[in-house]
Structure 1
Amino acid sequence: MSDTDAPQTSAQRGGRPRDPELDEAIIIATRRRLVEDGYSRMNIGDIATDAGVTRPTVYRRWPGKFDLVMDALDWGFRAQRNSYPTTSLEDVPPQQALTEAIKRLDPCYFNPDAMVLMGNFMAEVRRTPELLAMVCEHAVEPRVRLLEGVLSSLQERGHVRDDVDVRTISTMCFGAYFAAFLRNDDHADGLAERLSSTIWPAIAVPGDAA
């Protein structure tokens, strides 16, 4: 599926065609309820009301709220990718590519309520441990792997030292957004640029570090 296609639900992957606009209305209502109510308190009835549909309409598409939330997370990440600048990161200077990749780590890049969502998901770890595992698979790892991929590419192209641990760097950068949020900083205001300017001299090959 391409990034420009309409979001596909679990039911759609089973083969029965659905109305993409109706699916999207339900997905958006789900994402709003996740912010307002959290996973445990949200229910299909409220989601259906918010989306202007009936409960059976939702259940014809998803067997329950866990599957619905999984697709809502996937929808959000696809929407984020669709909002990226079209220029390939391999066509910009190395440090600029690093900066842009760090920007894309921001949980709030597309959704300003993402930090609240993450907090809600982490609060569910004892009641619904599989939920956090799903969030890591569908919302965390895809973002972190983007930065890991850029750093690995820069290593292959001779701009970043071969001994740099790309996983650790990526984890540090991802965590920086949460630290800034918890410290009441404006987490998105220039954070990627500050991280990049701090990290780049330590990881770049001598000719690129200046």
Structure 2
Amino acid sequence: MTDVGRSTGHVDETPAASRGGRPRDPALDEVIIRATRRRLVLDGYSAMTIADIATDAGVSRPTIYRRWAGKLELTIDALDYGFRAQGDTYPNPRLEELSPLEAFTEAVRRVDPCYFNPDAMVLMGNFMAETIRTPELLAVVVEHAVEPRVKLVERVLADLRERGEVRADIDVHTIATMCFGSYYAAFLRAEEDRGHLAERVVNVLWPGIAASPARPSPAADGG
């Protein structure tokens, strides 16, 4: 989100949509959405204002209100924009076509809240702080970002269990939750090498859940 720069001057809304039926300008919508995402990081939801968003986007406040009923609706659209963009960054290989260890590692990697957006942890903290005042925000994040990622780990483990690659008695729910939580623990402990956290987590978990102990590689045993 920090890649959003400040604009100068107001953008003319001639091609934009209004509630009267004129076609909307997707490019202008994206400018507003990206300015909103930047403000969420800098100010948090409560302190963020439509006026600041309008200034950053180079549009007028009426231009925003012709598109969104208010700050909550705009924020939800801004979050959905990020969720879709994150999905587009995932590598192409189908997880079921990878080796068991590779598939599990990739699923854990995709659980990372910062996979697409390095400011995701800051945003999550803001939304958790809004739980009492605006619970809808955290609910959107949980529904659209948290649960799909964690359930992906669960599905991969369940598939590996069905194929006999991992033990039949593993608790996929708890393992997936631990994988997700590891990113928050690493963030709070200021771990420097969070980019390889998925591999480190899997290296710890895999020996305990694999159907049979992994054989050491020749490099590992000196062969």
Task: Mark yes or no: TM-score above 0.5.
Answer: yes
Q: Aligned residue for 2:35?
A: 29
In structure 2, stretches of 5+ residues that fail to align are: 1-16, 216-223
Corresponding position of 1:180: 186
Q: Deviations over 1:76-116 (max 9, x none)?
A: 11111111111111111111111111111111111111111
- 1:155 touches 1:161 (CA, 8 Å); kept in 2? yes
Q: Would you say the 8 A contact 1:99–1:196 is kept in 2?
A: yes
Q: Counterparts of 2:143 and 2:150 in 1: how far apart (Å)?
A: 11
Letter in 2 for 1:120: N
- Residues 80-91 of structure 1 aligned to structure 2 (within 5 Å): 80-91=86-97
Q: TM-score, normalised by structure 2?
A: 0.81
Structure 2 Cα separation of the partners of residues 162 and 74 of structure 1: 36
Q: 2:59 is aligned with what amino acid?
A: V
**SS of corresponding position for 2:131:** coil
Shift of 1:163: 2.1
* Map of 1:154 onto structure 2: 160
Identify unmatched segments of 5+ residues in structure 1: 1-10
Instruction: Tell me if structure 2 keeps the 8 A contact 1:70–1:138.
Output: no
Render the CA deviation track for 1:155-197: whole Å, top value 9, x for unaligned: 2222122322211111111111000111111262311001011
Percent of paired sites with the same residue: 67
Residue matched to 1:58: 64
> 2: CA distance between counterparts of 1:101 and 1:16?
43
Q: Relative to structure 1, is the Cα distance of residues 187 and 32 closer, same or farther in structure 2, using a 3 angstrom cutoff? A: farther
Letter in 2 for 1:148: E
Bigger relative contact order (CA 8 A; separation at least 6): 1
CA distance in structure 2 between the aligned counterparts of 1:16 and 1:194, rounded to whole angstroms: 53
Q: CA RMSD in A?
A: 2.1
Superposed counterparts of 1:91-130, under 5 Å: 91-130=97-136
Task: Identify the match of residue 132 of structure 1 among 131, 135, 138.
Answer: 138
Tell me how far 1:32 sits from its aligned partner: 0.6
Q: Distance in 1 between matches of 2:106 and 2:40?
A: 28
Q: After TM superposition, where is structure 1 displaced by more than 6 Å over at least 4 residues in a row?
A: none
- Number of residues of Structure 1 aligned to a counterpart in Structure 2: 197
Could you say what secondary structure the match of 2:68 adopts? coil
Partner of 1:205: helix, strand, or coil? coil
1:203 partnered with 2:203: no
**TM-score normalised to the size of structure 1?**
0.86
